[in-house]
């Protein structure tokens, strides 16, 4: 009895504590996300061949996402095969890959783009042929070539990260932003979310927004120069944990780690290890299980059930105190905290 009461109290406390973090941000194009998609014409009988047109596979996040896809596919007998193509960051090749998947008569195409606009014509060809397309993990696309999206809202994510950072900074100071590859949904949405959140915190000043391309070494080098240019930096906005490690190391080597507040990163294992060691920073998740959601979404479409244009997988905040439940010290840095069963994790 007593333990149950404690549990309920703990839950309530957690909910109340988490409330400031549930986003006040609107999130991405809310109306369009909620739009219902008519899927009757995609209905077809099993067995299904699922095609995955990967924009790139040389990135640990997508490797995990793909494993989630495979795992979910294995749980459904009606999926006979998962065909994967890799465009290696070449949008021209991704167009060709999608065309090849269409030739192979797949029933469903899951994809994450190198460049969203470049592949739309090819995706439209698929849709015209009755093959539904699901944008997986990339962002939200509203376009004839994309039937539905399973994604993580980067605006909400960016907002959560920004607000936690401002809270830890007590609402004032100078910050720098470290963003991924310029022009990607992630970079654009995160920066937009930061600027919007900053409107409510007039004492926060953005010194510079830099693009570290999800590259730890590059982020470190850029930060070394930022440290040289700006004698005082109070906070770092860096939602991508991979880059956060590089940024933090640069501060540490310059002897300025104590003066700066690191924003939450994501659940990149290397970053989680850093958080566990330094007891600060935390994480806002970018769940790799969006791959599973995409498969499930695809199956619903193939079943003719109406779905919403966008299915979001929510991000969660993990405080530095709770990091130990997520970090895997014996696993590599280039690894992600996930809900994958052990045997499905990348080898």
Which residues of the chain form contacts with another protein (CB under 8 A)?
A: 57-60, 62-63, 83-86, 88-92, 95-97, 99-100, 103-104, 115, 117-118, 120-121, 182-184, 208, 211, 215-217, 220-222, 224-225, 228-229, 242, 245-246, 249, 253, 270, 330-335, 346-347
Please name which of 151, 43, 66, 51 lies closest in space to residue 108, comparing C-alpha atoms: 51
Category of 211 on φ-ψ map: left (φ > 0), alpha (ψ -120 to 50) or beta: beta
Among residues 211 and 237, whose Cβ is nearest to another protein? 211
Minimum CB distance to another protein, residue 252 (Å):
10
Among residues 199 and 342, whose Cβ is nearest to another protein? 342
| Residue 53, SS3 per DSSP | strand
Query: Distance between CA atoms of 29 and 153, rounded to whole angstroms?
Result: 10
Q: Are 59 and 27 in contact (CB under 8 A)?
A: no
Among residues 22 and 105, whose Cβ is nearest to another protein? 105
Among residues 3 and 228, whose Cβ is nearest to another protein? 228
Among residues 78 and 253, whose Cβ is nearest to another protein? 253
Minimum CB distance to another protein, residue 333 (Å):
4
Among residues 17 and 217, whose Cβ is nearest to another protein? 217
| Residue 70, SS3 per DSSP | helix
Among residues 20 and 183, whose Cβ is nearest to another protein? 183
SS3 per residue for 230-279? CCCCCEEECCCHHHHHHHHHHHHHCCCHHHCEECCECCEHHHHHHHHHHC
Minimum CB distance to another protein, residue 182 (Å):
4
Minimum CB distance to another protein, residue 192 (Å):
14
Minimum CB distance to another protein, residue 96 (Å):
5
Query: Distance between CA atoms of 3 and 214, rounded to whole angstroms?
Result: 44
Please name which of 318, 315, 303, 18 lies closest in space to residue 151, comparing C-alpha atoms: 315
Cβ atoms within 10 Å, residue 196: 16
Minimum CB distance to another protein, residue 22 (Å):
31
Query: Distance between CA atoms of 74 and 273, rounded to whole angstroms?
Result: 31
Locate 19 and state its tokens: 């409330």
Minimum CB distance to another protein, residue 241 (Å):
12
Query: Distance between CA atoms of 293 and 337, rounded to whole angstroms?
Result: 17
């Amino acid at each position: 009895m007593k333990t149950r009461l404690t549990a309920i109290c703990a839950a309530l406390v957690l909910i109340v504590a988490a409330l400031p973090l549930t986003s006040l941000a609107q999130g991405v194009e809310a109306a369009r996300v909620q739009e219902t998609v008519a899927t009757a014409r995609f209905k077809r009988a099993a067995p299904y061949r699922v095609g995955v047109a990967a924009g790139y596979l040389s990135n640990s996040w997508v490797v995990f996402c793909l494993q989630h896809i495979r795992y979910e596919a294995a749980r459904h007998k009606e999926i006979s095969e998962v065909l994967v193509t890799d465009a290696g960051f070449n949008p021209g090749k991704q167009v060709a890959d999608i065309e090849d998947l269409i030739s192979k008569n797949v029933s469903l195409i899951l994809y994450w783009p190198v460049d969203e606009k470049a592949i739309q014509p090819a995706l439209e060809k698929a849709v015209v042929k009755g093959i539904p397309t699901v944008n997986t993990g990339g962002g939200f696309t509203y376009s004839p070539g994309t039937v539905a999206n399973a994604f993580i809202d980067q605006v909400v994510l960016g907002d959560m990260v920004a607000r936690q950072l401002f809270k830890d900074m007590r609402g004032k100071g100078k910050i720098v932003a470290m963003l991924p590859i310029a022009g990607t949904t992630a970079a654009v949405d995160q920066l937009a979310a930061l600027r919007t959140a900053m409107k409510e915190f007039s004492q926060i000043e953005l010194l510079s927004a830099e693009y570290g391309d999800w590259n730890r070494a590059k982020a470190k080098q850029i930060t070394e120069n930022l440290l040289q240019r700006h004698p005082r930096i109070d906070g770092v906005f860096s939602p991508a944990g991979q880059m956060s490690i590089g940024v933090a190391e640069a501060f540490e080597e310059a002897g300025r780690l104590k003066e700066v507040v690191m924003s939450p990163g994501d659940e990149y294992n290397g970053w989680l290890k850093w958080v566990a060691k330094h007891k600060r920073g935390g994480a806002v998740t970018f769940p790799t299980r969006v791959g599973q959601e995409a498969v499930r979404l695809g199956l619903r479409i193939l079943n003719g059930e109406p779905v919403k244009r966008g299915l979001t997988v929510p991000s969660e905040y993990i405080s530095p105190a709770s990091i130990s439940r997520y970090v895997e010290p014996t696993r590599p840095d280039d690894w992600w905290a996930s809900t994958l069963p052990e045997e499905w994790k990348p080898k």
